Structure 1
Amino acid sequence: MAETTGTSPAYVDLGAVAAPSGTLVLGMAGWIDHWPEVGRPLSERAADAAARGGGHLYGPEEGERPPSTCEAIAVPAATDRPLRVRARTSPSPFDGEPTISVLEVDLGLPWPEGEDDRPVPLGDLPVDRCGMVLGDARALDSFVGMDGEAVDGLADLTYWGRYEEEAHAAFGGERIVNTSWGSGPYGWLDLPLSEARAIEERLRACYRTGPGKGNGLMTDVAGHTDHHRLRRAGWTRPLLNGIVDIAGCPVLGLDWDPGDHSVRHHGERAWGQVYPATLAPREGRTVLRWTVPPAA
């Protein structure tokens, strides 16, 4: 996790995304694949907002905004270069570990000549408990969400609980490193989906029916959806950030530690837990900035 010191306090470099469509979207990962259910495709609505200089999107397209629904910020961006992403951090009140307090994306565009330096408000977003996604609007039209099919036919199988050591001795598997999980669960990565489900059933049968076992072993088969691939890409990173290719574009995923989300962001929009997004100048260029204030 590299730090840059162009301004103080230091920023953490999160990598780069791209926006070949000319429109960049910051959205709630748990809802990206639901946009077709509430109106026009995400890319169409995002392009309209970007043409107006940027703005906030939510579903449904008309009528009152439900407390829980699709939400995103869409902005214009350069089509011909990587768009660097960085963040400032603050300690979590949950465990003291660093969490994102400012997300900033260089949009590859100059700050309009003659404009003053005051940030331009675009709207606000909650921190989705399922994570956030930053990427090209057109690429995100093909995003496969949590309930979708594995994009490569593969899955990750993990297990944990009271009898995990006993199960490990009998079935094997490796510790799966996950920053937000301590030592991580046991399991296997990149199994054919049918094989992962078969092993899971054997684990469940053994520890469901054995003497006194009850529910002493939890299992999970996670197909390689785009949502899972983004979360997995951030497992070993302190800020749980990762980049994967979706429809030929590098897309950034940001996860949140469940404990930190529960302490700071639980309830999301329904409870007023929303945070402002703005366009702002930095060194003559335009950046998208999403500010999640440090905990008091």
Structure 2
Amino acid sequence: MAETDFDLGVVTAPSGVLVLGMASWIDHWSQLGQPLSERASAVASIGGGHVQDWMCELVAVPAADDKALMVRAGTTTSPFDGGPTIAVLEIDLGLPWAGTAGNEPIILGDLPVDRCGMVLGDAVALDSWTGDSHPSTDGLADVTYWGGYAEAAHLQYGGELIPQHGSHVRGWLDLPPDDAEKIVDALKAWEGDQQGRGVMVAVDEHTDFHRFNRASWTHPLRIGAIEVAGCPVLGINWDNGDHSMRHRGERRFGQVYPVTLQPSPEGQTMMRWTIPPHAPVCDGPD
């Protein structure tokens, strides 16, 4: 059962096609053949559906091209940390319901929960998505560090306290690449004790993938709202521990969840992705 409803914001679909896809692979579609938008448009033209190519997966549906589309989530309690985690994702598509007379849901397919998150946005806009392996889109990068010797490193190198999903790291945001590289080299070479132990260091260039992750750092459900090609797009993250307990193995282990079209209470069409609550595995009686 979903316990709490969250308004997650809005997306738009000026191309008339809305996509929910795996964040790890958004920028890989064109490397495998047709661009994402062409594949998404093909299934949207027949009412919507699921597309898979290698590790890339998405669901695409027709949507209104002239209005903001509201996105909501129902949550359940995470078995990992007891916090809220997404159980139902609902997206208003801005179109009147034209489904079955009995208002039965229309099954579009299913999707796994990507360990690196999901992306919801306009099909054409997502053709320009920059993934983790792309260079920075604005020439800037973020550097963070953490570990048992982080405070000692801070005394020598500085770095602001940066909140990330309820915890904190030290670091610098929006650095030119040369400055970021110098800091990373210095922190990696720094030794906090006589055994040579130091800190963990990460450098993240400003790709769309990193921007949505960064935007999600302070959201209770790890939702990152960004713009891609001028369109508002939502990135949807999961806690690593929660993902391991509920979704680990993804499609390879049958951890996939249904995506449907169904009518809203107002008679409009909405897309729903339903993720059942965690069910512990029982070994049976002794």
TM-score scaled by length of structure 1: 0.91
Matched, 1:101 2:87: yes
2:179 maps to amino acid: E
Which of 234, 241, 245 aligns to 2:216? It is 234
- Amino acid corresponding to residue 239 of structure 1 in structure 2: L
Quote the Cα distance in structure 1 between the aligned partners of 2:82 and 2:267.
Answer: 35
Counterpart CA distance in 2 for 1:114 and 1:236 is 41
Aligned counterparts of 2:258 and 2:93: Cα–Cα separation in 1: 17
Deviation string, structure 1 residues 247-275 (Cα, Å, up to 9, x no partner) = 01000000110110011111101011100
**Equivalent residue, structure 1, for 2:268:** 285
| 1:192 partnered with 2:176 | yes
Aligned residue number for residue 5 of structure 2: 11
Match of 2:58 in 1: 72
Cα distance, 1:35 vs structure 2: 0.4
- After superposition, where does 1:104-119 map in structure 2 within 5 Å? 104-112=90-98, 115-119=101-105
Unaligned residue ranges in structure 2 (runs of 5+): 280-286
| 1:85 and 2:68 are equivalent in the alignment | no
Q: Measure, in 1, the Cα distance between the counterparts of 2:88 and 2:100.
A: 26
The answer on whether the counterparts of 1:29 and 1:130 sit within 8 Å (CA) in structure 2 is yes
- The unaligned stretches of length 5 or more in structure 1 are 1-7, 61-68
**Offset, 1:115:** 2.9
Equivalent of residue 163 in structure 2, options 141, 164, 177: 177
Q: CA deviation at 1:9?
A: 5.6
195, 202, 211: which is aligned to 1:220? 202
Between the two proteins, the alignment pairs up a number of residues equal to: 277
Supply the distance in 2 between the matched residues of 1:137 and 1:74 (Cα, whole angstroms).
8
Post-superposition Cα deviations, 1:202-225, rounded to whole Å, max 9, x if no partner, equal 1111228x63123x3110000010
Task: Give the Cα separation in 2 of the matches to 1:213 and 1:237.
Answer: 36
Tell me if structure 1 keeps the 8 A contact 2:216–2:222: yes
In structure 2, do the counterparts of structure 1 residues 59 and 116 end up closer, same or farther at CA, with 3 Å as the change threshold?
same
In structure 2, C-alpha distance between the alignment counterparts of 1:26 and 1:187, rounded to whole Å: 32
Q: Name the CA distance, whole Å, in 1 between partners of 2:77 and 2:149.
A: 34
Contact kept in structure 2, 1:175 and 1:183, CA below 8 Å: no
Aligned equivalent of 2:277: 294
> 1:44 aligned to 2:38?
yes
| SS of residue in 2 equivalent to 1:195 | helix
d(CA) in 2 for partners of 1:11, 1:269: 27
Q: Do the aligned residues in 2 keep the contact of 1:39 with 1:59 (CA within 8 Å)? A: no
Q: CA deviation at 1:113?
A: 7.0
Report the residue type matching 2:260 in the other structure: T
Match in the other structure for 2:185: 201
Q: C-alpha separation between the residues in 2 aligned to 1:80 and 1:196?
A: 41
Q: Distance in 1 between matches of 2:115 and 2:139?
A: 26
What amino acid sits opposite 1:97 in the alignment?
A: G
Structure 1 partner of 2:248: 266
**Distance in 2, Cα, partners of 1:197 & 1:121:** 49
Q: Please give the alpha-carbon distance, in whole angstroms, between the structure 2 residues aligned to 1:88 and 1:114.
A: 25
Are residues 1:55 and 2:49 paired?
yes
3-state secondary structure, aligned to 1:188: strand
Distance (whole Å) between structure 2 residues aligned to residue 218 and residue 87 of structure 1: 34
Do 2:121 and 2:233's aligned partners in 1 also have CA atoms closer than 8 Å?
A: yes
TM-score, normalised relative to structure 2 = 0.94
Equivalents in 1 of 2:87, 2:11: separation in Å? 20
Percent identical residues: 58
Distance in 1, matches of 2:127 and 2:121, equals 10
Aligned to 2:125: 139
Q: Distance in 2 between matches of 1:113 and 1:257?
A: 35
Distance 1:77 1:90 in 2: 28
The one-letter amino acid of 2:84's match is P
Aligned counterparts of 2:95 and 2:160: Cα–Cα separation in 1: 46
